[in-house]
Structure 1
Amino acid sequence: MQYTRTAWIAALAIVLGASALGTAAAQEFRATVTGRVTDQSAAAMPGVTVVITSTATNETATAVTNAEGVYTLPFLRPGLYTLTAELDGFKRYTQESLQLQVGQTATLNISMEVGALTETVTVTADTLEASRADRGTVIDSKRVTEIPLNTRNPFMLSILSSGITFNGPAIYHRPFDNGAIADWSINGGWNRNNEFTLDGAPNNSIAGGNNIAYVPPVDAVQEFKIVTNSYDAQHGRSAGGAINVSLKSGTNDFHGTAYEFYRRKWLDTNWDLLKLQGEERPDHKLDQYGFEVDGPIVRNKTFFMVNWEGYKESNPNIETEHYPDEALRRGDFSNYRDASGNLITIYDPATGRLDANGNWVRAPFPNNIIPQDRINPIATNLLHFWPLPNQAPDEGCASYRCNFFLSPNLATDDFYNLATKVDHVFSEKTKMFVRYAQNYREEIRSFNGITGPAEDSQGPLERINYTGVWDWVRTVSPSFVLNLRSGLSQYVEASRTDAALGFDATELGFSADLVGQIPHQMFPRININDFTNLGRNGFGRGTTTVYSFQPNFSWLKGSHSIRGGLDMRMTWLTQKNSGAAGGMRIQHDDRFTRRDWNQGDPLNGSAFASFLLGLPTHGDINNNLFPEYRWNYWAPWIQDDWKISNRLTLNFGLRWDLNSPVWEAERRMAYAFDPGAVNPANDRIDHSVFPGDIMGGLRFIGGPDAPEKYPYDWDLNNFQPRAGFAYMLNDRTIVKGGYGLYYMNPTGTTFTTGYSITTPLVSTLDGNRTPSVTLDNPFPQGVAQPPGSSLGLETNLGRSPNYSNPNFEIPKVHQFHIGVQRVLPWGTSVELSYVGSRTRKLQTQWNGINEPSAEFRDSCNPLLGGNADFCRDRLQNPFQGVSGFEGTDRFEGATIERWDLNRPYPQFDGIEEFERNDGLVNYNSFQAVVNKRFSDGITINATYTFSRMIERWGWLDVQRMIPQEGYYWSDRPHRLTFSTVYELPIGEGRAILGESSGLLNALFGGWEVAGLFVYNTGRPWDIPDVYLDPNGERTTLNPAAINEDTDYGADIIRAISAPCTARYDDSGTLIPRSPYGPAGCSEPWFTSRPPFSSRVLAFRSEDIRRPPYRQFDINFAKTTRLAGDVRLQIRVEVFNLFNVANYDEVNYNTDLDSPLFGTIDKNNQRQSGFPRQIQLGVKLLF
């Protein structure tokens, strides 16, 4: 159904009603203090005035206890406070040095003593968060500024929290790596589906794939909290995890810092790859510099903070490329050999013929040399764009690969970052702040080592952020507080290669007629299997704009602390993406130059030979829509924290997410596939060849049998109950637990079929026996123009349409935990918890709708007695010459494969359905946390997580719809973290040399050590699509195949003891494929699947894991007082102290033909993380 006018009115009423109460923060970053006041007989005391005062700004907030003796002080900025409680006839109660953290609800129960107000009882006891069942980790400003951070991105300190897995590349932690640094899975939540907020306002971007939008400078951050389990209804629109950052505010005193962080080549250790190549350390320069200043504009009233940062880096981007040598450029393949030295024979496609047995056969080129007059002139013109090799092929590589070592291949980044904030206190009852921030990044990076129009590069990649927020708090009465917040953010990500844009492809020999039809003039993308490509895959620009208005109130009623509000957002995504074939993409493989037209063989055929002959095998030209997608979101919520007693608090919440379906500004969207409609092309085909009716086609938004606006129905039942408890067994022990239901943030945008269209390169009309086009005219039918919805059911005839599930439901996560927290002496606490989650209705896709039946497929599977040639047989084509099929093989070919003719909808190739809800993830874990707050010069945080993460996602058999079940790709069973900041007890006022001053104190005082350690078990091996025995019956690896003593420090990391592999030919005969197996390897451990069979193995292996990840960073700092409060800090930060080469992002080789199958070869593979790097830093603080 569609969202009706009545529903709109109802939603508007909800919005207006909630707005009357105030605006709800999506994630409240400020702290709350709550508790019960009693006399010495434990009786509740109403009417007690409780005042809390900021030590930094003298701001105050006041509450009066109600009849239950309960008080609540909400919306307190993180920082240091003093709290007092007063009532005539009782001594004044004072709590000093009350440290409040971001998002904290601190429970402070007060016992009043009889006496005069002039008498004071002063305490300094620790506060416990005993009013909420939530779990999370607070990273305070001390750890933010002192723990070593590679490239100073504060979000990366999230790795110190339990239950969190970072899945991004270890070399991309920088504050402008917005996509990589969003790769977090929190307590089993789907990767990249977490909520990021900045000062309570949304900080996510759909552009780039649910990226983090703005990353603030380190020195602008007050602190931040990673919420790993929340049973508070104010949190939502995520897989259950949230990271809330609070920026600093000014105080009554001026503070500031100016800093420079410096790296150079001489401070770096060399990469393993370069050491093995005998190469020197590459050039590397990084300067990160800036200043932060905060203070009063008007004392006790108005405060400011400003932080500006610059970042300039040139970073090595080491690559081993595969360029054609001089012999190959002449067509001389006489020394064209595989990694074992076997000659690879090149066959001449012009000699193809049927032999006496009816098999299509070809003859080899004499002497393995292509005659000069057979080399295509366009190929000749393209040859000039590849540099010649600069080295002999690396050991373990084929004779034509690994022959150009690209170093340092510097990538340059220029980045600046600005954050500003102004706070104003109108009165004790009314406060406000505004914040504005922006940053800009430009990267230049080459991916193929070529300069000029043929380069494949970020030339440049730009990322731009603008973000602002306005926040207003009003204390209406001692028991009722309003908060209004409005935010606006915009994230832009744009990538292109300026050197390629505007290139005239007629200079290469392509016809002016073809070039004139290409939508975007740029150097064509030329792909050749096993060789480095020419050109890039097009350009793109995505802009996400988010308007947020979040109304919120806090109301104390008896023993109930009630909060509620409305989370409102409007999101706009503008996409200007040319597609992978933004200009023209032409690809080559070995199918026309190998012996067998329908089956590969590692010892014959060459993609480069096909290229020289001018015989492409794939290609396309994209003609894409630039859509403007929009989403609206409303989420009313209510939360009740019920303080039943001083020991027990219950949390109850309810949130209702109203996510509008995505829509396109001009309604340019495909809707769904209609399988029951007769396709109008049915009237034009030859029914003597195809007697049945041609059924099925796409429907479009605004067209017949389709909605007017939305591609799927409103999901109106997204109610999210939350419940938790916190029970204090005693003053030092708390038991917590809870359950919460979350709905994720839908971001699907696969709706442009018809409004975008791809012109395919039709390379053959007889199933790869003979080529049908050459480089001289690769698209003889011209370039297709997008028809929009005008063709209706006939859209994409002869092509592969896709659509989104019209019954899509928003995925949901059930999150739960139970645990115990114990407060120990020295400001230390220990927490032990069981944490689990169940994610349901995950977004998946399915391409089985237009595949022939499983029974038909089985009839062609040789292991089931079938005949592969039966499916490949070519029959008369009923679509030849039929209008509507122009530019496709169905239009051109006189014959069509039996396989294609037996598709349910044979007028199309593959059809894919997106936004299905077939996926699920189950997560179970034990988590332990030890935390020591900063006191006596030291803070410590240590965590251990033992977990399992199992998924059902994807398909083993798309026809029978058998799902794939196994380990989630980022499952890491063991995870250990440790961090500390330790001020050495030496120097003036310290335990050692405490009486020293002058030179002695300058030399030995002010030293500090800070560090972090992270260990993760490796991810499961992405196992290739093979059989583990010749019959496909085994589902676990043969123990003999597993290398039990994997040496991660060796030059070649071997997960497989030795490759013992084979393949099936079309008759079902098992052919040994690898001569590298161990002696006695009679039955292969890995066998490529026979044709027309389905996958039997899960995507990942539980028996073999990638190498583990290990990180150990340390900071040595010396702070010297220069004059008054002016201090100079010198820092030496060492990243990867023990120079551990991590390869956790590298999958083991899955090429069955390679002697390196099941290994990671460090000779040809760059490590995942940086080698040891030393950074020098200087900070001037006041």
Structure 2
Amino acid sequence: MKDSKNFLALVFCVLFLINFSLRAQELQTGAIRGKVVDESGQPLPGVSITVTGPALLGKATAVTNEEGMYRVPSLPPGRDYEIRAELEGFEIIVRKGIIINVGAVVIIDLQMKPSTLKEEITVTAESPTVDVVKSTKSNIVTSEILTSLPLSRSFGSILTVAPGAVGTSIYGSGRGEIGAIIEGIQANDPDQNAVAIGTDVGMAWDMVEEVEIVTSGSSAEYYNTTFGQTVMVMKSGSNRLSGEFSFYYTNEHLCQIHLPEPDLATLNLAKPSIPVYSYDASAAVGGPIIKDKFWYMGEFRYINSKYTGNFRPTVIAGKRYDNYDRVFPNYIGYLKLSFQLAKNIRGTAMAHYSMQDVPYYYSGWYLTNEANKHNKPRRLNYASTITWFVDNNTILNLRAGGLYFKWTGTNTKEANPDGPHFIDSYTGYVWGNTGPEEYTWKPKVNVVLSLTKFIDDFIGGSHEIKAGIEWERNRGDWGFYMKQPLFWYYYDGSPYYWRAQNNGVTDPIYGDGLLEYLAIGTKYGSSYECGITSRIGGFIQDSFTIKRLTLNIGFRLDHLKAWSPGRTKGAASDPVALAIGETYFKPIYGINPYDEIKYDTWDNAFPYGVFFSPRLGLTYDIFGNHKTAFKISLSRQAEPFPTGTFSSMYPLTWRSFTFNWWDLNNNGIPDKPPIDKYEEAYGETPLAMVSDAYLKAIDPNVKVPYVDELNLTLEHELIPDLKVGISYITKKRGNILACVLWDEKTDRYWYSHEKAPEWWIPFKTIVPAYGIFPAREVTLYFLSNNAPEQFLRLTNVPEASWKYRSFEINFNKRMSNGWQLGGSVNFSKNKGNYSVGWQSSFSFWNFSNANSFVNAYGELPYSRPVIVKLYGSFNLPYQIMFSFIFQHIDGSPWARTVRVLPPADWAAAHNVAMIGYTINVEPPGTWRNEAYDNLDIRFEKDFNIGPGKLGLYMDVFNLLGAYTLTISKNPGGTWRPAGENTTKGTYTPGSLGLRGFSGSRQFRFSVLYRF
């Protein structure tokens, strides 16, 4: 009932705001604003404004108001726009060469002279580069950048030019936290928040018209912009028939590896993964079906490549494992229709489909062909929009679309599907099979209705007000199944993990081996994680301009309902797993986690409530000439909420239990108890799988995690077409979520020593020096035998910390006069104890016990103190175009870790469980990996042939021949102190040394014909 009231209140609020008065640009377009004056500078009302351009279906019109102001919104991005200004008794003014970028407002002021004749004066001037209206900090990746630079033609390469970006991480965020909009529709995977185009499968690269990368200060219209957002506009047709055909090719003979063959052989390294062959062919065509009424644009792209493996050959249990190649066939199709139903109604419809069938998908020096995955991803993106220009001051826009993704990851042909998955914890090799075979199903639907209203002379200025309502439904299914659900941990070639570390004899505390049994089904559909969300949101924003000052004020409200449907987990078929559950778990907890278990639907899984997200921005045109702007933006935004945020709390998810194993009959294989003995290794319990325990898995008082953001920016047009800027950006996470220990009987959280000193017993030890690593004194905590059963609950953790700040210098000279140049430098800090690698829901287990806080505060995974990016294109003699991209990115932080096992005598004296814990010996960032420096270049030459141009290209990737050595340098291992606060004990380091080698210089040749 409470959720229903929240929902109705939200709907009422949004509808009230829409009916009040409304505004601004659409997500996929830009706008022109300006003032028309006479020779004396007096405003001219009633001037007829007409805008035309190759990217615009039909034409757009406006009339100046009493102050001579005009506005033309909803213009597709493109070049060569023209403005025609007409007023009886004055010259006709035609302004040419205007460039419209997505999300940008271009200020074009005009001056008209009196004339009794219908004279037409044509003015061609540089288009402004500084947006003196918006407070958003963003970077525009134009069509000139996309087509000229030596990019890899995938989504990730778009972010190559984004300031502060490391791969798909922006300003220290996880790689899966960036938002994505394609043709106005949300385009992130439902369960993981990954960008849902051009990542796991290819995309129609040549059909991308322009991309706005919003890095901070986003408006209230945007959802899922907390850690940046890419707004992608796809190409449309035009009144002219056009098309292009392209072919890109490289092979192993066009790749150069820095280390010679004898060196690789001596080091027992495989060559870096390089293409045996790789070709990329595409054909695109677009044009009018009905001129000025109905356009089309379509493309088919086929990519096929074969890459050498980078597996490090080895012998395991007498079997030789050699390197192996990987093949990646990819089919991509794209179609977009643009139409004008009436003079004031226009719309688009788009579909994008991509599929792959990859026998060996993953790479890695340690990954045998048996343990790889046969991947088959299928992805569909679709979007449509209708825009109704009700009058010169009112626009109604409806967008609808979504995505569909299906993936299967099954065993390779070499795998043994009936056996275990083997992992050697010392050498790092994995073999046997892929582990569980997996699949996903991820549909999304997104609908947005918005209304825009322009109001002049209200409260001393002009307003562009926009309000809207949005609905989004997501479902994320992740299935997994395995005939023998066993992960068998070896140690340095021995099947007995503990015995191998104890001089070949049974460890008196931990036994012989270490086995992990997964509590999942044996066939497709028998066990899967599933989460469904329905989100309704509303927003209102006002861009309020008083002379040179613009206030961008807005907020959005979002309410989300989450649930997981009831279903049944299939039973294991492995008799050992069933017997272990029956012997050790069922007598205590009443269930066998390896048996069939049925669960009911989980309604209202997460108490999301209504999240209020305020946005405040200020932009000041310092000199009033539209060339220098000072901008401030502040916001509080909810973190992305993929279905994985809560679906993993439901009992039917990927669950497993790890056991110390005593091979009592010494036959080398696990047998049913009591023939062999087993003991849960980490104190974990199946409490989360008991009956309705999942209803307690999320704190009912949990708050939605958010990010507070501040951005200060100064931008200036230094010379025509060249913009420079400096920025200061800060981000801080709040209400951080994590799964932590909770005791139901006392309603008490006990995940740290401070919260439960009687259950976490402190132990001071000195981890011995090893190599260059000095000895370190640390205090960790062991689990008391009096502690309650371990049950993890999702809640806000006040001790969790994540902070980012950066000082940024950037510049951009857009393409004109035969050259373009851009770049940025970021000096940043990213510190805390909440380590996010992919997305925050993947980090919920960061604080699973008290030792999670030991030496945890330090540099975070995407902390890079200095990031430098530089790119450009230049016309050389003989009409040859030279382009380049250079990146310098400081190395990633790391620290020494170790697993500490309690001394048996001390444990008995302090009533402590004999469970070891892995801790940080030193704070993250004590060490850094090597920096990344890379230079890619391109030469291109165009020839006029027939109705079009033939282009010949040569790309050189990694021109400097940089390479990266994969080195196991953290000694890790196990420390068994003889007592407290002593250096005496047994330290067994992990395996150190050279593991892999990546990096090669690669030449790629291509031919492109455009007409």
Alignment TM class, shorter chain as reference: 0.7 to 0.9
- For residue 947 of structure 1, report the CA deviation from its aligned partner: 0.8
**Distance in 2 between the 1:1146 and 1:593 partners?**
23
Report the residue type matching 1:835 in the other structure: I
- For residue 652 of structure 1, report the CA deviation from its aligned partner: 1.2
Contact 1:537/1:582, CA 8 A, preserved across alignment: no
SS in 1 for 2:145: helix
**Distance in 1 between the 2:889 and 2:367 partners?**
42
Corresponding residue for residue 735 of structure 1: 630
Q: Which of 407, 411, 421 lines up with 1:497 in the alignment?
A: 411
Matches within 5 A, 1:1045-1060: none
Corresponding residue for residue 393 of structure 2: 479
- For residue 24 of structure 1, report the CA deviation from its aligned partner: 10
Change in CA separation of 1:419 and 1:194 when aligned onto 2, cut-off 3 Å? same
Contact 1:101/1:138, CA 8 A, preserved across alignment: yes
SS in 1 for 2:488: strand
Q: Is the aligned partner of 1:1116 residue 2:1008?
A: no
SS in 2 for 1:300: coil
Q: Is the aligned partner of 1:861 residue 2:726?
A: no
**Distance in 2 between the 1:485 and 1:235 partners?**
14
Corresponding residue for residue 139 of structure 2: 137
Matches within 5 A, 1:278-289: 278=265, 284-289=276-281
SS in 1 for 2:256: coil
Q: Is the aligned partner of 1:524 residue 2:420?
A: yes
Under a length normalisation based on structure 1, what TM-score does the superposition of the two structures give?
0.69
- For residue 229 of structure 1, report the CA deviation from its aligned partner: 2.0
SS in 1 for 2:897: coil
Task: Name which one, 1 or 2, has greater alpha-carbon Rg.
Answer: 1
Higher strand share: 2
Corresponding residue for residue 914 of structure 1: 794
Contact 1:616/1:773, CA 8 A, preserved across alignment: no
**Distance in 2 between the 1:6 and 1:1180 partners?**
59
Q: Is the aligned partner of 1:254 residue 2:241?
A: yes
**Distance in 1 between the 2:251 and 2:483 partners?**
38
**Distance in 2 between the 1:452 and 1:1098 partners?**
30
Corresponding residue for residue 91 of structure 1: 91
- For residue 470 of structure 1, report the CA deviation from its aligned partner: 1.4
Corresponding residue for residue 1051 of structure 1: none
Q: Which of 992, 1001, 1010 lines up with 1:1172 in the alignment?
A: 1001
1:942-989 per-residue CA deviation (whole Å, 9 max, x = no partner) reads 1111111112327689449858322111100111111112222x3xxx
Q: Which of 289, 297, 300 lines up with 1:308 in the alignment?
A: 300
Report the residue type matching 2:306 in the other structure: S
**Distance in 2 between the 1:563 and 1:32 partners?**
14
Report the residue type matching 2:51 in the other structure: I
SS in 2 for 1:804: coil
1:397-446 per-residue CA deviation (whole Å, 9 max, x = no partner) reads xxxxxxx5x33x11111101111111112343121111111010121217
Identify the range of structure 1 (270-279 vs 249-258) with the bigger mean alpha-carbon deviation.
Answer: 270-279
SS in 1 for 2:735: strand
1:671-716 per-residue CA deviation (whole Å, 9 max, x = no partner) reads xxxxxxxxxxxxx999xxxxxxxxxxxxx9999xxx9721231332
Change in CA separation of 1:961 and 1:554 when aligned onto 2, cut-off 3 Å? same
Corresponding residue for residue 970 of structure 1: 862
- For residue 189 of structure 1, report the CA deviation from its aligned partner: 3.8
- For residue 1109 of structure 1, report the CA deviation from its aligned partner: 0.8
1:806-852 per-residue CA deviation (whole Å, 9 max, x = no partner) reads 33322212222222212122421211121222222233232475779
Contact 2:126/2:721, CA 8 A, preserved across alignment: no
Q: Which of 590, 596, 603 lines up with 1:709 in the alignment?
A: 603
Runs of 5+ unmatched residues, structure 1:
167-183, 327-386, 389-403, 504-520, 670-683, 687-699, 783-790, 865-897, 987-1004, 1028-1062, 1070-1089
**Distance in 1 between the 2:658 and 2:894 partners?**
35
Contact 2:437/2:480, CA 8 A, preserved across alignment: yes
Under a length normalisation based on structure 2, what TM-score does the superposition of the two structures give?
0.80
**Distance in 1 between the 2:506 and 2:409 partners?**
29
**Distance in 1 between the 2:996 and 2:271 partners?**
17
Q: Is the aligned partner of 1:833 residue 2:727?
A: yes
SS in 2 for 1:133: coil
Corresponding residue for residue 959 of structure 2: 1137
Q: Is the aligned partner of 1:269 residue 2:251?
A: no
- For residue 321 of structure 1, report the CA deviation from its aligned partner: 4.5
Corresponding residue for residue 469 of structure 2: 566
Corresponding residue for residue 446 of structure 2: 548
SS in 2 for 1:526: strand
Change in CA separation of 1:850 and 1:618 when aligned onto 2, cut-off 3 Å? farther
Report the residue type matching 1:483 in the other structure: N
1:840-876 per-residue CA deviation (whole Å, 9 max, x = no partner) reads 2233232475779764567683759xxxxxxxxxxxx
Runs of 5+ unmatched residues, structure 2:
457-461, 570-585, 589-596, 677-684, 743-748, 767-781, 836-845, 908-913, 976-986
1:434-471 per-residue CA deviation (whole Å, 9 max, x = no partner) reads 11110101212177999999922222x12211121111
- For residue 154 of structure 1, report the CA deviation from its aligned partner: 4.7
1:609-654 per-residue CA deviation (whole Å, 9 max, x = no partner) reads x99x996644344236334421111221112111211x22221111
Change in CA separation of 1:725 and 1:607 when aligned onto 2, cut-off 3 Å? farther
Corresponding residue for residue 818 of structure 1: 712
Corresponding residue for residue 633 of structure 1: 535
- For residue 780 of structure 1, report the CA deviation from its aligned partner: 7.2
Corresponding residue for residue 584 of structure 1: 485
Matches within 5 A, 1:355-370: none
Q: Is the aligned partner of 1:1007 residue 2:880?
A: yes
Change in CA separation of 1:90 and 1:778 when aligned onto 2, cut-off 3 Å? farther
- For residue 1150 of structure 1, report the CA deviation from its aligned partner: 2.9
Q: Which of 874, 877, 893 lines up with 1:1020 in the alignment?
A: 893
Corresponding residue for residue 190 of structure 2: 206
Contact 2:895/2:920, CA 8 A, preserved across alignment: no
- For residue 771 of structure 1, report the CA deviation from its aligned partner: 8.0
SS in 1 for 2:697: strand
Contact 1:25/1:485, CA 8 A, preserved across alignment: no
Q: Which of 206, 213, 232 lines up with 1:226 in the alignment?
A: 213
Q: Is the aligned partner of 1:317 residue 2:309?
A: yes
**Distance in 1 between the 2:136 and 2:634 partners?**
10
Number of residue-to-residue matches in the alignment: 901
Corresponding residue for residue 924 of structure 1: 805
Contact 1:27/1:244, CA 8 A, preserved across alignment: no
Corresponding residue for residue 882 of structure 1: none
Corresponding residue for residue 592 of structure 2: none
- For residue 70 of structure 1, report the CA deviation from its aligned partner: 2.9
Report the residue type matching 1:163 in the other structure: G
Q: Is the aligned partner of 1:1148 residue 2:969?
A: yes
Report the residue type matching 1:263 in the other structure: T
Change in CA separation of 1:275 and 1:83 when aligned onto 2, cut-off 3 Å? farther
- For residue 1021 of structure 1, report the CA deviation from its aligned partner: 1.8
Corresponding residue for residue 299 of structure 1: 291
**Distance in 1 between the 2:1005 and 2:728 partners?**
42
Q: Is the aligned partner of 1:429 residue 2:344?
A: yes
**Distance in 2 between the 1:708 and 1:1135 partners?**
51
SS in 1 for 2:358: strand
Q: Is the aligned partner of 1:644 residue 2:546?
A: yes
SS in 1 for 2:964: coil
Report the residue type matching 1:238 in the other structure: T
Q: Which of 142, 148, 151 lines up with 1:149 in the alignment?
A: 151
Corresponding residue for residue 7 of structure 1: 6
Q: Is the aligned partner of 1:653 residue 2:577?
A: no
Change in CA separation of 1:273 and 1:483 when aligned onto 2, cut-off 3 Å? farther
Report the residue type matching 1:526 in the other structure: F
Contact 1:45/1:67, CA 8 A, preserved across alignment: yes
**Distance in 1 between the 2:688 and 2:148 partners?**
63
Contact 2:97/2:127, CA 8 A, preserved across alignment: no
Percent identity at matched positions? 17
Q: Is the aligned partner of 1:164 residue 2:78?
A: no
Report the residue type matching 1:1175 in the other structure: R
SS in 1 for 2:146: helix
Contact 1:136/1:225, CA 8 A, preserved across alignment: yes
1:512-566 per-residue CA deviation (whole Å, 9 max, x = no partner) reads xxxxxxxxx7443234444543122111111211111111222110011112212
**Distance in 2 between the 1:847 and 1:138 partners?**
46
**Distance in 2 between the 1:145 and 1:499 partners?**
40
Contact 2:307/2:325, CA 8 A, preserved across alignment: yes
Change in CA separation of 1:39 and 1:627 when aligned onto 2, cut-off 3 Å? same
SS in 1 for 2:472: strand
Contact 2:558/2:612, CA 8 A, preserved across alignment: yes
**Distance in 2 between the 1:852 and 1:240 partners?**
29
Change in CA separation of 1:858 and 1:62 when aligned onto 2, cut-off 3 Å? closer
